[in-house]
Amino acid sequence: MAKNADDMGSRLQRAALDLFREQGYDRTTAAGIAARAGVTERTFFRYFADKREVLFGGEAVLRSALLRAIAEAPEQLGPLDTLFRSFQSVGSLLENNRPFSVPRQEIISATPALQEREQAKLAALADALAVALKARGATELQSVLAARTGMAAFAMATVAWLEHPQPGLADRLDLILLELKTMFAAVSPADE
Amino acid sequence: MAKNADDMGSRLQRAALDLFREQGYDRTTAAGIAARAGVTERTFFRYFADKREVLFGGEAVLRSALLRAIAEAPEQLGPLDTLFRSFQSVGSLLENNRPFSVPRQEIISATPALQEREQAKLAALADALAVALKARGATELQSVLAARTGMAAFAMATVAWLEHPQPGLADRLDLILLELKTMFAAVSPADE
């Protein structure tokens, strides 16, 4: 059952991507996507709340994978190490999804309505990561700061890697974490 | 002339806030806001592109103040110090705007459509700050990382300060910068 549900979700996503590319996002309707996938409009709405959501179906899978990795990280790891380790753990998930993610990102980059939805999704995901970090003992401030900073870094690494596959996602994440560490080491806070 | 334009913009913003609170965001129209402010709908659309934008009119003022502060920062300052100094420099601007900003933030927090627009605005603002940091000699990666991280921290400090005026915005920004510095100092990058 779960397999069939996944298949239907993927079929609708591929149909949506094809239509967005062929005729543009604005001219594509949920009914048109359903027709291309060979199902009824009613079936479309059993899987997705609206035309935008069809491109964000993978977010739930990514979110549970990240939350699981955070929960399973060694106790002694600090919030940022925990978070970046969880990002590294979803590398093969993202690799496998690349054939769908590349055209998806192109459509999003070209469509303001989808960019807004993506920003909102990233913010919601950061909130969920913050809750998971807090459950491991970080303070509220640490959790939220780490989650928002980490999410911004993760989104940046992912988008750059979708545009150019080399360097790989893992190397990009390492590079970004090192760059952030170096930049913050150079900061002179007011009370020092 | 500029003074009058500002006055009309503020009048429309106050009318919009009042109506959003009285009857809810969804039931308020651009025409209704114009009527409350005693002007025509056509006048409303001379100032704002749509009903959402009326709450984001201050963004242009904030953006130019931040960009000016970045351009004027001492040459030897690194990207994060430059950025946090620019945030500190707009403190009195935000203080003066507090009577409008508090109810505005309440409406945004309660309205998903406005949250999406706010996220998009913050992302666009971060992009503009990144360009300004790059113009001072930071690399592309440093500029974008600093701008996105800094913007997330700034938004977090501002929202918390709108909910509780004490500690003040300047102290919250200092605290956040110090917390980030401490957390990144504890990170163990893969190549160390």
Supply the CATH number for residue B3's domain: 1.10.10.60
End position of a domain, from candidates B33, B55, B77: B55
Euclidean distance between CA atoms B138 and A191, whole angstroms: 25
* Interatomic CA distance for residues B36 and A24, integer angstroms: 39
Reading chain A (192 residues) residue by residue, the pLDDT tens digits are: 344 666 888 899 999 999 999 999 999 999 999 999 999 999 999 999 988 889 998 888 999 999 999 999 999 999 999 999 999 999 999 999 898 899 999 999 988 888 888 888 998 999 999 999 999 999 999 999 999 999 999 999 999 999 999 999 999 999 999 999 999 999 986 654
Residue A155 and residue A70 share a domain: yes
Regarding whether B177 and B124 lie in a shared domain, the answer is yes
For B183, the closest of A116, A146, A188 (CB atoms) is: A146
Mutant choice from A143, A187, A192 vs B, greatest count of B C-beta within 10 A: A187
Is residue A90 domain-shared with residue A8, that is, in the same domain? no
How many domains in chain B? 2
The interface pTM score, or ipTM, of the predicted complex is 0.86
Q: Is residue A192 part of a domain?
A: no
Closest to B90 (Cα-Cα) out of B136, B34, B129, B38: B129
A150 touches chain B (CB under 8 A): no
CATH number of domain containing B131: 1.10.357.10
Q: Which of residues 84-103 of A touch B (CB under 8 A)?
A: 84
Judged by CB atoms closer than 8 Å, whether chains meet at B145 and A176 is answered as: yes
Pair A44, A89 in one domain? no
* pLDDT of the residue at A7: 84
**pLDDT (0 to 100) of residue B192:** 46
**Looking at CA atoms only, how far is residue A136 from chain B in angstroms?**
15
A190 within domain boundaries? no
Tell me if chain B has a CB within 8 Å of the CB of A181.
Answer: yes
Q: Is B90 found in the same domain as B179?
A: yes
Residue A128: CB atoms within 10 A of its CB come to 16
Q: Does residue B124 sit at the A interface (CB-CB below 8 Å)? A: no
Cβ(B36)–Cβ(B26) below 8 Å: no
Based on the fold, state whether residues A67 and A43 are members of the same structural domain.
no
Answer whether residue A39 is part of any domain: yes
In chain B, what is the straight-line distance between the N-terminal and C-terminal CA atoms, in Å?
A: 59
- The reply to whether residue B120 touches residue A141, judged by beta carbons under 8 angstroms, is no
Query: Which residue of A121, A184, A191 is the best one to mutate when testing the B interface, meaning the one whose CB has the most B CBs within 10 A?
Result: A184
CA distance A181 to A177: 6
> In a 10 Å sphere around its CB, with 0-12 CB exposed, 13-18 middle and 19+ buried, how is residue B190 labelled?
middle
**Co-location of A167 and A84 in the same domain:** yes
Residues B49 and B65 reside in one and the same domain: no
> Would residue B192 count as lying in a domain?
no
Do B76 and B169 lie in one domain? The reply is yes
CB A57 within 8 A of CB A47: yes
B178 touches chain A (CB under 8 A): yes
B4 — contact with chain A (CB < 8 Å)? Answer: no
pLDDT tier for residue B59 given thresholds of 50, 70 and 90: confident
Q: How many helices (H) and strands (E) does chain A have?
A: 9, 0
Domain limits for position A4: 1-52
Burial (0-12, 13-18, 19+ Cβ within 10 Å), B176: buried
pLDDT tens per residue across span B124-174: 999 999 999 999 999 999 999 999 999 999 999 999 999 999 999 999 999
pLDDT of residue B89 exceeding 90, the answer is yes
| Distance from C-alpha of A24 to C-alpha of B85, rounded to nearest angstrom | 43
Among A29, A52, A75, the domain-final residue is A52
Q: Are A46 and A90 within one domain? A: no
Q: Is residue A25 part of a domain?
A: yes
Please tell me which of the candidates A123, A142, A183 has its beta carbon nearest to residue B145: A183
pLDDT value for A192: 46
Residue B191 lies in a domain: no
User: A-chain residues within 8 Å CB-CB of B141?
Assistant: 175-176, 179
Judgement on whether residues B120 and B38 belong to the same structural domain of the protein: no
The answer as to whether A34 is a domain residue is yes
> Which secondary structure element, helix H or strand E, spans residue B23, and what is its range?
helix B2-23
The answer to whether residues A42 and A69 belong to one domain is no
CB contact under 8 A, A188 and B81: yes
The verdict on residue B132 lying in a domain is yes
